[in-house]
Amino acid sequence: MTGTGLELRELRKTYRSRGRPSVDAVRGIDLTLRSGELLGLLGPSGCGKSTTLRMIAGLEPVTGGDILVGGTSVVERPAQQRNIGVAFENYALYPPLSVAENLAFGLKARRGAARGSRGDVERKVKDIAERVGLTDLLGARPAGLSSGQKQRVSLARALIREPDVLLLDEPLSHLDAAQRDSTRRELKRIQKDLGHTTILVTHDQEEALSLADRIAVMKDGVIQQLGTPYEIYDSPANVFVADFVGEPAITLLPGIAGDGHARLSDTVRIALPVPVDEGRKVVVGIRPEDVRLTAEGGLPARVVAHEPLLESGLATLALDGVERHLVVLTDPEVRLAHDERVRVAADPGHTHVFDAETGASLR
């Protein structure tokens, strides 16, 4: 199986209600997905990512713009004519039906030649069950399944239609940590094996970073940045992307540029990676893994807290005269006491700098 390209052109969604201001949920999205690509649509709740997915699926009317699958517009087609598979966050399984009957339901409901014979339906059920690891559960009902198993049934039901495009709406949100890890690996394997063009809607950055070929980070109905996971993480386009992507979160420190540095307080200055106009207000971004404790040089700091995390440690430090704390990833053997004095140095090559007014990256 192979995927089909997907293109969104100036896609918009506005909700209007009598007596209330209109709400622009999606504000002119332009996206092109290559055949077989997995795109992560990442952002906080209410940013418009699920609305975008529902418009692609035909479950939400479009206010403006176009949706093209394989170069053909589908924006005027009803959902059942778009050949788009959707795996929902809440699974949406039929409780009275077995797993096999849930998988076959959509195929049996299709009309004409697309419906296929009974033997063809049974063959497809068996094939997709093998691919997704459900062979031993075909006779079970949803009530007897774990959350991970239900999610696999939901995914298999979307895949069995052999869709041109696959849409995954928060597919791992109801799973515990162990199930999330194993299901994520299986999901990536299945998607690559079958080659479906896929959009994964999620608020979980780890999910997007580990699964997606590219990521579109959304805020307030607008795509803030589109790029590979490495581009999103290493070269965030603005303060929002830098702050939203990364765990532990990036430290954002306001300052004033001058002489190749950002002055964070009367005594604290950090080297900037690019020339910035003298006196310009900036925000310096430093990820915890790009700061190190040092025996000499660097900046003096006071330990506010230190959390040993087995594989590493996480230190929260107060820089002299700087209101916001600096977070540092430490080696696992390091032990720091509250109020202990230390020195830290940031890697200028991995220091980010943003305009304080617009939030845009200055790198």
Strand partners, 86: 167
**The one-letter amino acid at 249:** A
Show Cβ contacts of residue 277 under 8 Å, excluding neighbours closer than 6 positions. 257
Comparing C-alpha atoms, which of 16, 25, 84 is closest to residue 49? Answer: 25
Task: State the greatest distance between any 2 C-alpha atoms of the chain, in Å, as a whole number.
Answer: 78
Q: Where in the chain is the domain with CATH 3.40.50.300?
A: 6-243
Residue 183: pLDDT band (50, 70, 90) is: confident
Arithmetic mean of pLDDT, 15-31: 93
Phi and psi based region of residue 65 (left: phi greater than 0; alpha: psi -120 to 50; beta: remaining): left
Write the CB contacts of 286 (distance below 8 Å, at least 6 apart in sequence).
Answer: 250, 251, 253, 270, 326, 346, 350, 351, 352
Q: How far apart are the first and last CA of the chain?
A: 42
Q: Where in the chain is the domain with CATH 2.40.50.140?
A: 249-355
User: Per residue in 188-221, is it b (16+ CB within 10 Å) or e — as a string?
Assistant: eebbeebebbbbbbbbbbebbbebbbbbbbbbeb
Measured over the CA atoms of residue 209, residue 210, residue 215 and residue 219, the dihedral's sign is negative
- The answer to whether 254 and 356 are in contact (CB under 8 A) is yes
Q: Cβ(264)–Cβ(346) under 8 Å?
A: no
Token pair in block for residue 105: 């339901």
What's the pLDDT at 13? 98
Average pLDDT, the chain: 91
The pLDDT of residue 109: 65
| DSSP category for residue 112 | G
- 17: confidence class by pLDDT, cuts 50, 70, 90: confident
CATH T-level fold of 249-355: OB fold (Dihydrolipoamide Acetyltransferase, E2P) (2.40.50)
CA separation for the pair 133, 93 (Å, rounded): 17
60-93 residue pLDDT tens: 999 999 999 999 999 999 998 999 999 887 778 9
The CATH architecture of the domain made up of 6-243 is 3-Layer(aba) Sandwich (3.40)
Task: Give residue-wise pLDDT tens across range 224-269.
Answer: 999 999 999 999 999 999 999 999 999 999 999 999 999 999 999 9
Residue 313, helix vs strand vs coil: strand
